[in-house]
Chains A and B, each alone.
Chain A
Amino acid sequence: MANSELKKEIAGALQNNVLRGALERFSHLYVIAREKAYQGYDFEALRNKVQEIKSYSASHIDEMIDLFEKNATARGAKVFRAANGKEANDYIKKLAQEKNVKKIVKSKSMASEEIHLNEALRADGVEVQETDLGEFIIAIEGKHPSHMVFPAIHLTKEQVADLFTSYTNKKNDPIISKLVKTARSVMRKKFIEADMGISGANIAVAETGTLFMFTNEGNADLTATIPKTHVYVVGIEKLIPKFKDASYILKTLPRNGTAQNITTYVSLYTGATEAYLENGMKGTKDFHIVILDNGRRNILKDEKFRQMFNCVRCGGCINVCPAFQLVGGHVYGGKAYTGGIGTLLTAFLDSEETAGKVQNLCLQCGKCTEVCVGKLQIPEMILELRNRHGQKTGLPFTQKFALDVVSNRRLFHTMLRVASVAQKPFTRGKQVIRHLPMFLSGLTEGRSLPAVAEKPFRDIFPTIEQDVKNPKGTVAIYAGCLLDFVYPRIGEGVVAALNEVGYKVVFPENQSCCGAPATYMGDRENAVKSAILNIQGLEAEKVDYVVSACPTCTHALKEYKELLHDNPEMLKRAEELANKLYDFSKLVTILGGLENKGDGIPLKVTYHDSCHLRRKMGVYQEQRDLLSNTSGIELIEMNESDRCCGFAGSYSIKFPEISVPILERKLRNIADTGAEVVAVDCPGCLMQISGGLDQKDSSKIKVKHTAELLLDKRKKK
């Protein structure tokens, strides 16, 4: 899939109001319903167990498969190990031929979608019927699922009625209860006539040979009960060691996937059971289990990705993904798997090329990691995918050029200084740019860009009077590009607060871009260059602490250890830097916090959590305490305070069409609080949110960094 095609897919999805409406409504309901479903259960403890069990299986995979095969075979199952999709398809095709199978019913199996089993069987003239309601609908439509749990979420009841009308040759009214009855009666006949059933499983227990299925509609049980031949297609990642271990997945998968305490049906099949054979005679059914590899062992072999085996396929990650909520599953290009986890699965099990493109849709906000049952670090894996893709294919020229400039301190800083003059025609005397001409216009659609400051922080710093008697120590300030060149006042706030807790601040002149843009665009070479420049420039060895007021920079600086793991001398210095480095609010709190003072003038403030600060650094209470401890400030929490603002660095430039709607939801949440000021701890969020507010001329809400707001409210009058 070329980038232009991806863009076209995104545009199409965004124009589909049904899909957007359904996904947005679900995203609100899901969070509340999920929380309710987990009431009285310790989610962290449960997911620790899931992680433990699944990673045990992953590291003992051969033993697990052998055990499962032995135990399932002892109970009358025929187990076939398929190395790839073709072997699996050939086995099932041969079986269908031998048994003279004409009609097959299927209940949801993502593994069989992955290997295109339906197509393979139909090529032999066998009728294959998907029986799950959503799957049935999209099969008539001729599309792939738009969601892992709700495959037909992109369609209205009217569209479904039209599809059913054409399928049954009978007028179907757009009444959901009636449409469901149509599906029931159509499918009933299919179940009764089918001579083979094909299913997927959610869990495979090695010690007993038991398969677990989680379903709601009842089609899976009919598929497994009626036909005299039954085939399961089960990926090797479904194996768990012990029967009772299933408990943890039973308690989490339904709660995470659909916010149900348990699915209507949880069905356990162990070996071949009784079925109706020919002429109404009962006997033992022909029961087959295809254990599918198809690229899964490559996941296991890859240190960075083997945690994917801990995934239980609940879909919780996509339920909270801001990008997925806007575009839905079709955009992800994979046949079976969608969203962030889908991108990773597609890379290993389907198409590396498709995954290479759609991985760009990840905002790196990390929201998925909070709900993931298997504790997968999906954003980190996507970043790794991005890096590998970047190394393999290279970045487009303009991006590469931009990153080369950013990692060259002198050139970059000179350009920024030139920009502060060159931007004048666009700023119209304001501190923002509302419209850019021509191909850059996408950047200023739906939000304004900040203008580059006339005087960067590095020039202002020497003029700041630091009145600290008997300083307790020294802190080096790492400014980062936005603070240095766009928002120097944040820097003044940082200095003032650290002075207040008794520390002197120094500005190491040779600091440069943190390298995050390169890292997030998959350009490791330039990221390493930035790391070395800053380790040498900051000289952490000479100070007690290093402070940054941009969580993305803080995270990037802390990660230098990873980038420089093969450079022992630099690694040592990187570790020292990481140990001394804190984000603004965290450091001020560690150093004793600020005493209660302030101008006392009432000000309603709401707080937006930056993804990096909250989820990478776990800092969310400190800044709230600092703000609440300032007299005059009334802190009002907004809905979804830790939902991404849509900035995500270069993401907002690459995908303004996704970034802007995400921003709009944030702006609505902000407006609902009635606050006069939104406090943030990240200059990127500040730029995004203030840019969005600026385009709404009616909005009087200001956005301020915590450091800047503290400076405003606490400075001596």
Chain B
Amino acid sequence: MERINQLYDKFKGKFEGVNGECFRVAKSEEIGDLLINILGAKGSKTISLYESPISQSARLREKLTEAGFIVHTDDLFTNTCTDHVGITEVNWGIAELGTMVQIAPEVDKRLCSTLVPIHVALLKTDSILPEMDDVLEKLDSLPQIPGFVGFVTGPSRSSDIERILEIGVHGPEQVILIVTDQ
């Protein structure tokens, strides 16, 4: 646990350093309430949810709907074009960089991670690995490299005008990661 805590702390420091928001819960049941607070404060109303083991064990669809959010789980191309938030699960975190890694050959999963203004990512705490090479090793040991793997380090950014850093260009403007211990 000591090691997991260290890796989490390192990850969080790096992730926040690139303008990401990072939260940790002990049990996945806590994710719903946490998200209701976070998204409520941001004034978000509509959500595209790509279901995953964490989202299901957290009963996110039910909880968020009960709390008054409009949650879409299908017709995601149409919905991600207009929804405020997309929720997906990611496979790994890289502590040395504050990077999330997602395997997503499915188009809907990618749309929920990229087309929306706010991306909420879900991750198991023990999936935070120390270094980038650990992830490359994991990918390399799969039967085949998945059709799409995305390394995401914070919200989208550009310094193309006068070299001034601006957050939120074509990809998400905000990235929120919720890490769950169970």
Contact = CB atoms under 8 A, between A and B. Distances in A.
Contact of A268 (B149, B155, B160, B163): B149
B158 A216 contact: yes
Interface string A208-227: 10100000111101100110
A264 interface: yes
Interface string B142-169: 0011111111111111111111101011
A200 to B, nearest CB: 16
A188 B133 CA distance: 34
Bin the interface of chain A by size: 35 or more
B139 A243 contact: yes
A557 interface: no
Contact of A262 (B97, B105, B160): B97
Interface stretch (B4-12, B30-38, B52-60, B107-115): B107-115
Given A225-B110, A243-B139, A264-B152, A250 B145 contact: no
Given A218-B171, A243-B136, A262-B97, A180 B162 contact: no
A468 interface: no
B132 A273 contact: no
A70 to B, nearest CB: 14
Contacts, number: 166
A641 interface: no
B136 A275 contact: no
Contacts of B153: 261-265
A176 B158 CA distance: 11
B181 interface: no
Contacts of B159: 150, 258
A261 B11 CA distance: 13
Contacts of B137: 244
A152 B171 contact: no
Interface stretch (A154-162, A500-508, A595-603): A154-162
A246 B136 contact: yes
B169 A183 contact: yes
B23 interface: no
Nearest to A40: B96
A360 to B, nearest CB: 28
A221 B150 contact: yes
B140 A155 contact: no
A26 B160 CA distance: 12
A308 interface: no
B130 interface: no
Contact of A265 (B81, B132, B147, B171): B171
A216 B153 CA distance: 9
Interface stretch (A49-57, A127-135, A452-460, A696-704): A127-135
B160 A152 contact: yes
B160 A132 contact: yes
A133 B140 contact: no
B163 A22 contact: yes
Given A221-B150, A225-B115, 6 more contacts: A75-B144, A134-B161, A155-B161, A160-B161, A261-B153, A268-B149
10 contacts: A152-B161, A217-B156, A250-B136, A264-B152, A265-B151, A265-B171, A267-B148, A270-B145, A273-B148, A280-B75
